[in-house]
Structures are given as C-alpha cells and as structure tokens.
Structure 1
Amino acid sequence: MRVTGYRIIPTVLDWGRRIGDVNGVMPGDETASSIVLLDTDTDLVGVAVGQGSLIDTVFPAVEGEDPRSVNALYDRMLAWSFKAGNAGAVFGAIGTIDLALWDIKAKAAGEPLWRLLGGRDRTVRGYASGLDAGLDDDQLHSLYSGFAQAGFTAAKLKGGRNVADDLRRLEVVRDALGVDHPVLAIDSNESWNVKQAVRYVTALERSVDLAWVEEPVRRWDAEGLATVSRQVCAAVATGENLTGIDQYLPLITGRAVDLVQAGGGWGITHFLRVASLAAGHNLPVSPVGFFGHLAPAAAAVPNHALTEVQGFSLPAGVTADWDVDDGRIILGSTPGNGLSFDESAARPPAISGTPAPEGPHVRPADAGLRMTLHG
C-alpha cells in the first residue's frame, strides 16, 4: 500500500453561537474548516479535519510511502521541515496528515482506531467547553444546560477580563450544570502576567472552587507558570499551543504544569508522545479541541483526565461514529478514526477579505500588561 495523493475540501462549521475568548469574539456563528483526504493506491482513504494550508510543504515526506508506517512517517515529516521550522501551521499540516495516516492504518487493520491503539474502554470522559466569551448570561445558561442534558458535570469558562463578571458567569454555569459539586475551570488564554494571574485567581477562589486555570500566562513561561501553580489552589493547565515534546520539557521538569494539555489539531502521534512524557512524571493529560481527533488515543493512555468537548456540531459534510452521553464520548466500532466525509454535503465558506484585526486568534495590545484587577 502506498500514499498517492491528497485532496483539501473547504467547508464550514456552524457552531450555533458566536465563539470567542478574552482576546476577541468571532464575527458570526460559522468558521471555516478544512477536510483533508489522503489517497492510497487501494480503496482506502484517510479522513482528517484539520490544517489545509501548507500540506504541500510536508506531503513529499509521505508520498509513495506505506501509510501504515505512521510513527516513522511522522518523524520523516518533522525532518522534512526542520530547517524552516516545524511549528505553527507547518506543525498543523503534519498533524493533519498524521490523523489521516492513523485513519488508514486502522481501516487497513479492520479495527476502530481506539482498539488499534490498545484501548480497552470505548468511553472517554469529557468536559464542556463553550468558547463562550461572546455569550450573555441567558445564552450561557442555555448552552451549558444543553451540555448538562448530555450528562456533563465539568465545564471550562472563558474569562480573564473582569473578576465580578467571571464570578457571576461561573455561577451561571454552575446553576446550568445542576449538580452539587461540578468541576469548574477558567481559561484566560495567556492574557495575564504572573502577578495579575495570582491576584485574579486568588480573588475567584474566595468564592469558587476552581479545578484548574488554563494558560494563565504565556505558554512557554516555565518560571511564571510554576509561580502561579505554587501560589493558587487551582491546578495550572497548559500545552494546547505547544508544538513538539521538546517544548514541554522545561514546563514539566520545572513543575510549571499540573494538567498537561495537547492540541487536537497536532495529531495522534504528538498526543501519544506528550501523554507518555506526562505519565513518566505522574501528570494527567487532557486533549484540547474536539472533533473526535484525539478521543481514540485518549482511550488508550493510562493518564487521560478529561477531553474538551466544544459542542455537538461537526463541519458540513462530516459524520462521526460516536455518541456523546453521560458526559462521555462513546466511540464506535467502525474501522478507522470514526470520521467519514460526504463531499457533496460540504459547504464552502463565504469569501472574505483579509483576516479580521480582532478575534480570539489576535493577541490584544494590552494582554499581559494589565496590572489591576477589573471588577
């Protein structure tokens, strides 16, 4: 079996709400999405939702290769791009191809990916994550009530601008979940400096039992993250934006992270390596970003804590062999990663000009520079 080519099909994901965080909010309910199909000289096609750009820069590393040699091909893609650097969008392209390769490998074996990877239990515990900075209190309550109906008792709120607002919104989420002791977390998306993070989280913890605070300071600031971890009760979570296990080493060895995260778009192989590194230091691991990317791998590692579930929608044209119930992702038995794609049902995103100057992917000018608590 050999990899022969790839196709990138643009489509959209309708969230049913405006998504955003402390850095900004998307202008509408839909975001662009890319479906990457990896072709072989057989009838097997690998399906991945991920990074469509820069696939061409790393595809030559897998072209003509046996797709079942996933681990070796992952390192070959890293080696292929090492001079220019394999972070950012290049790492996303590598991760997307990796997802498709694992899909082919599991299909070739006639097994669902979670079983091929060694999983025993097809259920993966999740937490609700509404990407909810753009919602008012009524919308927030409605969103998390929907998560509660699916059995979720853990939730992560986007926050970091105003203590009083965050306390009120955490209470809204707690009420919506409808259980006595929900697991609550807050994600500031790297918007604080160290002193502000400690003061802010301490202020929240006077009223709320926070399980973790996510990315309180910059993702690479091992000393700063360690300081926050020592001075607040909540665990410190980070890692979703780190590319390559080498970036985790100073955080883990410096005791700067309590909940090790891995981005869903970076691929199965990356997650497995991060999970192994974390397990070697007795730390839990948590996948971030959910279209089913990492749930099969999460089912196969011993230190999985919770997987982020951002909603119940999939990109137009994509269907999945899994259910979400009892606060868990229940993986199916179809060979492969569980994703299938009907190109005729794809819906290309509306044509737009240059990227918006504001939004969750643009760092505000005052991020990390604010010295006071708001509210």
Structure 2
Amino acid sequence: MKIVDLQVIPFWVSRKLYRNGEILPETKVVQTVTKITTDEGAEGYYFGGEGPLEQDGMSAEQRAFLEERIKPLVLGQDPFDREKFWHWMWPANANMPENLLSVLDMALWDLQARAFGVPVHKLLGGCREKVKAYASTQHSMGTPEVYAQHALECKRKGYKAYKIHPYYYWNPVTGKPDLGRPSPIDQQIATCRLVREAVGDDMVLMYDPYGTYRTYEEALKV
C-alpha cells in the first residue's frame, strides 16, 4: 500500500467564538479537513489543525505548506510508516511546524484504523468500551462566582468531575484583557475555593492553568 495523494479541503462554517469572558456574535470561519489516499483505496482524515485547538481550520499558508512541502515527501511511501516520517521531519522542526506534522500523523492513524476496520484506540491497545465524561470550562469565563455557578449547574446535570480553566491574560475584576498579567493568582485561588464550596466534596475537580505562571513560587502558591 502506497500513499498517492494528500489534500487539504477548506470549507466555511458558522461559529460563535468565546473570548475574554463573553460569547461573540456568530461569524463565518474557515475549517479544514486533511485527506490522505492510498493506491488500495484506503483513506485517512484529520479535522482542523491550525494549532492546539482542533476547532480551528488551517490558514492558507499552512494548507500550502502541507500540500507543497510535506506532500512530496510522503507520496509513494507506506502509510503505516508514521515513525519514519517523524524521523525525517522532526530534525527540521524549525522549518516544519509541529502542528502540521501532527495533522499528517493523525490522518495516518485514522487511515490505518479504517484499513483494519477498527477504532484508533484499538490500534493503541485500548480495551475500554466506555470512559467517564467530565465537564470543562473555557478560560476567562467570568468572576469566581460565575465559575462556581457553572460548576453547580454541571453537577446538577449529572457530571461527577469538573475541570477549571482559569484566567488567561484577562482580569476578572475589570472584565477586560490584561496582557501584562498572564495569571491573576489571587482570583484563581478564589475561583478554586468557591467552586469547591459550591459542589461539595463529592465532585472531582481538575485544574488547567495553561502554563501561564511566571515563577515556580506562583505555581506553588496556587
């Protein structure tokens, strides 16, 4: 089996963006699907890829990079040789954006799973038939009280666990962006305390601060 084509297919979707504590008006954004095809008809797909959030489609420059720089390297190759492609491209990481290597890698995982007729998690050795769900927030969702109320609503809906994404370059006191202060430590601690008080001790809480603390001491304090 050999790779015969790699395409990036852009299309428009409607989306309401969430930014700095508020939902913005609905807009049209470009989303992308990457498709890899083989000479035996097997296909693999990946949705998104602009960055760490799959909800974002790739830019025109990123699409061109995949089709003009990465595609020629993999045409004619065995689609199951994913690690070989990483060894080829990772040393050139300064010129090969990591997120685009991930797009290629995950589309190839999807291709192999489809070719074998199994889910990707089976290829990875997974044996579970189901996993527990948990509720999760956006970052900079509002005041600590807003987080606490949201957590309580999620608990009432049956969630047993809740992940807090706190403030990210945003001041919960003024309700405005704050580019000079990545993480308002005191408000983040207040958020955690209020959420715990709201949901009680029988709900699992998780915390993802986006790695924005400036010092070890700040992280330790939280």
Retained in 1: the 8 A contact 2:144–2:190?
Answer: no
Aligned to 1:108: 115
Aligned mates of 1:42, 1:195 — CA distance in 2? 50
* Structure-1 residue corresponding to 2:95: 85
Q: Secondary structure at the match of 1:215?
A: coil
Larger radius of gyration: 2
Determine the structure 1 residue equivalent to 2:137: 156
Deviation at 1:65, TM superposition (A): 0.8
Residue 66 of structure 1 corresponds to: 78
Quote the Cα distance in structure 1 between the aligned partners of 2:87 and 2:123: 20
- The answer to which structure has the higher helix fraction is 2
SS of corresponding position for 2:184: helix
Q: Distance in 1 between matches of 2:153 and 2:126?
A: 33
Q: Which residue of 2 aligns with 1:266?
A: none
Aligned residue among 46, 63, 66 for 1:48: 46
How big is each residue's C-alpha offset from its partner over 1:247-274, in whole Å with a ceiling of 9 and x where there is no partner? Answer: xxxxxxxxxxxxxxxxxxxxxxxxxxxx
Distance 1:103 1:182, change over 3 A: closer
State how 1:209-248 maps to structure 2 within 5 Å.
209=196, 211-215=206-210, 217=212, 224=215, 226-232=216-222
The yes-or-no answer on 1:171 pairing with 2:148 is yes
**Is 1:188 matched up with 2:200?**
no
Retained in 1: the 8 A contact 2:163–2:208?
Answer: no
> Using the alignment, how far apart are the partners of 1:47 and 1:10 within structure 2?
13
Relative distance call for 1:124 and 1:76 in structure 2 (3 A) is farther
Deviations 1:312-365 (A, max 9, x none): xxxxxxxxxxxxxxxxxxxxxxxxxxxxxxxxxxxxxxxxxxxxxxxxxxxxxx
Distance 1:30 1:116, change over 3 A: same
User: Identity over the aligned pairs, expressed in percent?
Assistant: 19
Q: Bigger relative contact order, structure 1 or 2, given CA contacts below 8 A and separation 6+?
A: 1
Q: 1:78 and 1:23, CA in 2 relative to 1: closer, same or farther beyond 3 A?
A: farther
Equivalents in 1 of 2:12, 2:129: separation in Å? Answer: 28
Amino acid at match of 1:66: D
**Runs of at least 5 residues in structure 2 that lack an aligned partner in the other structure:** 50-57, 171-177, 197-204
Distance 1:195 1:5, change over 3 A: closer
Shift of 1:181: 6.8
Contact 1:46–1:103 under 8 Å retained in 2: yes
- Return closer, same or farther for 1:171/1:185 CA change in 2, 3 Å cut-off: same
Tell me the number of residue pairs that the alignment of Structure 1 and Structure 2 aligns.
190
TM normalised by structure 2 equals: 0.70
